[in-house]
């Protein structure tokens, strides 16, 4: 089959790291399913995998090649021994959590607590930037009939992550003020929609007029443009506390005087100090990533004196994915697809993502011949 492949000897910018190769089709083992990919969603983990950061993925996959792509829509091609819930021909979307399915954590606590938990196509191989991908059967979800192949491939990883962060980890509720960093990006566009659905007020942070327009359309209660706040000195990188306080004041101005009950974090080094500072007393900072750097610092006095909570969150379990997918099927949450790329251009959106030149989600067509195919509800 054809696949866009990353190799250890060419780690670097996605535009060079990803190259088109022919790879043998894997066989589905017990509990596994081979899916014919129709469209594949672009995620930041494809950028990390290409760069070999924060560590080279080859350290844990055991392969000398890597097929990225943690989102897909497609058609079941072949099922392995023991698979009973799915059959060839079923139209599916794929969530990206893999776990052993056998341990007490998988069966009583949460598959995200499994000691063998991995993100498919980042910590494992056989992702969706290939004609066929290999997954565990528990990763399959019914494709919402109202969506095209490219829409269905666009949302899983970021939306399901945002769902767990806000709904199950931070417990968002009606009336909450939620500061959403990167609101015009992959995670942020779903965080804004989830806030609207749950009756919370998303205070969306963006850095362009396009993103301001998008998040306003998605239901943000207020929008702040981070270009108007010099949270760091551009020359020295030093934190600018006066500007951080001014940012906090701007949040209170748009919320009618309240700090953020929840801060939706994934930017990391560039924003974390501010996130802890602007979070309300007894509020929560929920974090799942660190695009701008992994070593975070904050002034702990603001945490303990004001009794705030920092919560880590990582993707979602199959039950959360299924519940979140149902909201899409019912039209309560919409995919936010900004651009569709042909198969031949797979590295391009990854490079754009690295340069922060995109809005919302980008998708690559794989088996689908053109945009607009795959809708089944007329
Ligand atoms: N743990 C998990 O399960 C999980 C799941 C999904 C994603 N992640 C991680 O979360 C991060 C975001 O993912 P994504 O798909 O949302 O990426 P994305 O589409 O690139 O969006 C990230 C947004 O962050 C904002 N941003 C970038 N640099 C910033 C800075 N210095 N200060 C403030 N804002 C900045 C940008 O918005 P503006 O420029 O408009 O402000 C950008 O739109 C990535 O690191 C990803 O690996 C983790």
The better pLDDT of the pair 239, 234 is held by 239
**Pocket perturbation via mutation, ligand 1, pick of 120, 240, 339, 356 by most ligand atoms within 8 A of CB:** 356
The encoded tokens of residue 333 equal 């949450």
192 CA from centroid of ligand 1 (Å) = 14
230 CA from centroid of ligand 1 (Å) = 19
pLDDT at 233 exceeding the cut of 90: no
CA distances from 200 to 108, 172, 192, 282, 324 (A): 31, 7, 9, 17, 17
pLDDT at 8 exceeding the cut of 80: yes
CA distances from 70 to 126, 229, 280 (A): 9, 34, 34
**Pocket perturbation via mutation, ligand 1, pick of 119, 204, 266, 290 by most ligand atoms within 8 A of CB:** 266
Percentage with pLDDT > 70 across the chain? 100
pLDDT level of residue 226 (50, 70, 90 thresholds)? very high
The number of helix segments (H) and strand segments (E) in the chain equals 13, 17
pLDDT of residue 124: 97
| Measured CA angle at 114 (ends 100, 41), to 5 deg | 75
185 CA from centroid of ligand 1 (Å) = 6
pLDDT level of residue 360 (50, 70, 90 thresholds)? confident
pLDDT level of residue 234 (50, 70, 90 thresholds)? confident
pLDDT of residue 301: 97
Residue-range domains of the chain with CATH? 2-154+335-365 (3.90.180.10), 164-312 (3.40.50.720)
Ligand 1: residue whose CA is nearest its atom 47 = 44
Ligand 1: residue whose CA is nearest its atom 32 = 270
Average pLDDT, the chain: 97
377 CA from centroid of ligand 1 (Å) = 33
Phi, psi dihedral angles at 280 (to 5 degrees): -65, 155
Tens-digit pLDDT profile for residues 23-58:
999 999 999 999 999 999 999 999 999 999 989 999
Q: Which sign does the torsion angle of CA 17, 18, 21, 26 carry?
A: positive
Q: Which residue has 């209660």 as its token pair? A: 221
- What does pTM read for this prediction? 0.97
Q: Which atom of ligand 1 is nearest to the CA of 211?
A: 40
**Pocket perturbation via mutation, ligand 1, pick of 110, 160, 182 by most ligand atoms within 8 A of CB:** 182
Tens-digit pLDDT profile for residues 61-110:
999 999 999 999 999 999 999 999 999 999 999 999 999 999 999 999 99
pLDDT at 378 exceeding the cut of 70: no
What lies within 8 Å, CB to CB, of 293 at 6+ separation is: 268, 269, 270
């Amino acid at each position: 089959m054809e696949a866009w492949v990353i190799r250890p000897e060419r780690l670097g910018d996605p535009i060079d790291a990803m190259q088109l190769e022919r790879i043998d089709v894997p066989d589905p083992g017990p509990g596994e399913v081979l899916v014919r990919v129709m469209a594949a969603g672009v995620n930041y983990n494809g950028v990390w995998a290409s760069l070999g950061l924060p560590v080279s993925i080859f350290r844990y996959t055991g392969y000398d090649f890597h097929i990225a792509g943690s989102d897909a829509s497609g058609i079941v091609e072949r099922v392995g021994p023991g698979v009973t819930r799915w059959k060839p021909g079923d139209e599916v979307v794929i969530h990206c959590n893999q776990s052993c399915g056998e341990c007490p954590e998988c069966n009583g606590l949460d598959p995200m607590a499994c000691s063998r938990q991995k993100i498919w196509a980042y910590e494992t191989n056989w992702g969706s930037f290939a004609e066929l991908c290999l997954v565990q059967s528990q990763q399959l979800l019914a494709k919402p009939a109202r969506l095209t192949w490219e829409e269905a491939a666009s949302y899983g990883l970021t939306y399901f992550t945002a769902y767990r962060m806000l709904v199950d980890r931070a417990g968002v509720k009606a009336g909450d003020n939620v500061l959403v960093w990167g609101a015009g990006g992959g995670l942020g566009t779903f965080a804004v929609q989830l806030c609207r659905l749950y009756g919370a007020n998303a205070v969306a942070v963006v850095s362009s007029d396009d993103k301001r327009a998008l998040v306003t359309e998605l239901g943000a209660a207020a929008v702040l443009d981070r270009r108007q706040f010099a949270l760091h000195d551009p020359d020295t990188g030093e934190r600018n506390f006066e500007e951080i306080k001014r940012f906090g004041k701007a949040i209170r101005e748009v919320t009618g005087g309240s700090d953020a009950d929840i801060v939706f974090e994934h930017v990391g080094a560039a924003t974390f100090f501010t996130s802890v500072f602007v979070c309300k007393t007894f509020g929560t900072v929920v974090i799942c990533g660190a695009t701008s750097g992994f070593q975070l610092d904050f002034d702990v006095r603001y945490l303990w004196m004001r009794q705030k909570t920092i919560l880590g969150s990582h993707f979602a379990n199959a039950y959360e994915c299924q519940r979140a997918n149902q909201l899409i099927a019912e039209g309560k949450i919409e995919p936010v697809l900004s651009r569709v790329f042909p198969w031949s251009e797979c590295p391009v959106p990854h490079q754009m993502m690295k340069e922060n030149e995109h809005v919302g989600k980008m998708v690559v067509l794989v088996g689908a011949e053109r945009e607009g195919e795959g809708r089944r509800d007329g």
